[in-house]
């Protein structure tokens, strides 16, 4: 009997919806057909532990079901272009237009990975899982991704801003070093010839993690990684994914 494909995404999009779309209807029409991949998105403040939780959840699913499951983890930080990484490092936050452009890259990447895993799972008669992790700090990013993947399950890794910043300072080699102070932002704007009074980032609010206004599950980011990873596996089970 054919088994389902699951995608769990960890992450930060506007195009035709992949999940629940007419194109995928043939794979959900009967008991012997593969279902469209389930997308589980782990999101939260930078430094909340999303990617680490997603990786452990992936390992747990794979180890417990290695003969019947295919599991893929997608860290959308890997898709961020170098120019944006450089800007983050210099305390420059992307504009709405820039975020929309990168969101398109994210959506295309996730869609391509979904289709590849779906085909592989079908050929191997296995179930799959994709865990996507990304911060999705801004509402506009979430809206674009939700439009593209309307059936995705969202899981918020909740940490305080203070704790997230502490973890950001401890990690090494990552392009994101946190929100700059207002004085630093002014210095950067002067360096690049920008007038903060003419931008929507003049008060640095774009760096803040926006409130979430759609259904989602909340994980306590202060709990052990293994505990939260287990909950992610259980969420997939509840959705009929694993």
How high is the pLDDT of residue 8?
A: 47
Q: What is the pLDDT of residue 165?
A: 78
H helices present in the chain, as ranges: 50-64, 82-89, 96-124, 139-148, 161-170, 182-192, 225-238
Q: What is the pLDDT of residues 91-111, one digit of tens each?
A: 888 999 999 999 999 999 999
Q: State the pLDDT at residue 204.
A: 58
Give pLDDT, residue 68.
65
Give the pLDDT confidence score for residue 200 in this predicted structure: 45
Query: For residue 120, what pLDDT band results from cuts at 50, 70 and 90?
Result: confident
- Interval 37-60 mean pLDDT: 91
170 burial type by CB count under 10 A (0-12 exposed, 13-18 middle, 19+ buried)? exposed
**pTM reported for the whole predicted model:** 0.76
Average pLDDT over residues 193-219: 71
**Cβ 176 vs Cβ 90: under 8 Å:** no
Which pLDDT tens digit goes with each residue over 57-99?
Answer: 998 887 876 666 677 899 999 999 999 988 888 888 899 999 9
Rounded to an integer, the average pLDDT of 202-223 is 86
Q: Contact, 125 vs 34, CB < 8 A?
A: no
Name the band, by pLDDT with cuts 50, 70 and 90, for residue 28: very low
Using the predicted structure, report yes or no on whether residue 52 has a pLDDT greater than 90: yes
Q: Spell out the domains of the chain, with CATH numbers in brackets.
A: 6-80+95-172+209-238 (3.40.50)
DSSP secondary structure letters along 168-180: HHH--S-S---PP
Q: In the prediction, which pLDDT does 176 show?
A: 63
Query: Alpha carbon of 223 to those of 48, 108, 159: distances in Å?
Result: 11, 33, 10
Q: What is the separation of C-alpha 25 from the centre of its chain, rounded to a whole number of angstroms?
A: 25
DSSP state of 5: B
Q: Report the pLDDT value the prediction gives residue 107, as an integer from 0 to 100.
A: 95
What pLDDT band is residue 53 in, cutting at 50, 70 and 90? very high
pLDDT number for residue 239: 66
Q: 178 falls in which pLDDT band (50, 70, 90)?
A: low
| CA 166/CA 37 separation, integer angstroms | 35
């Amino acid at each position: 009997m054919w088994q389902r494909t699951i995608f769990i995404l960890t992450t930060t999009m506007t195009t035709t919806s992949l999940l629940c779309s007419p194109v995928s209807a043939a794979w959900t029409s009967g008991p012997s057909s593969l279902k469209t991949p389930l997308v589980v998105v782990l999101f939260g403040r930078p430094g909340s532990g999303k990617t680490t939780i997603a990786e452990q959840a992936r390992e747990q699913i794979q180890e417990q079901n290695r003969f019947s499951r295919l599991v893929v983890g997608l860290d959308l930080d890997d898709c961020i272009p170098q120019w944006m990484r450089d800007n983050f490092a210099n305390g420059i936050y992307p504009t709405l237009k820039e975020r929309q452009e990168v969101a398109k890259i994210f959506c295309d990447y996730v869609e391509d990975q979904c289709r590849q895993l779906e085909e592989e799972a079908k050929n191997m008669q296995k179930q799959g899982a994709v865990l996507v992790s990304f911060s999705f700090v801004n509402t506009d990013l979430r809206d674009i991704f939700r439009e593209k993947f309307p059936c995705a399950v969202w899981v918020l890794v909740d940490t305080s801003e203070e704790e997230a910043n502490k973890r950001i300072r401890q990690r090494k080699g990552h392009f994101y070093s946190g929100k700059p102070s207002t004085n630093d932002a002014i210095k950067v704007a002067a360096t690049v010839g920008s007038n903060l009074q003419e931008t929507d980032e003049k008060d640095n609010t774009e760096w803040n993690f926006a409130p979430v206004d759609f259904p989602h599950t909340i994980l306590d980011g202060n709990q052990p990684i293994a505990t939260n990873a287990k909950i992610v596996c259980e969420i997939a089970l509840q959705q009929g994914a694993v």
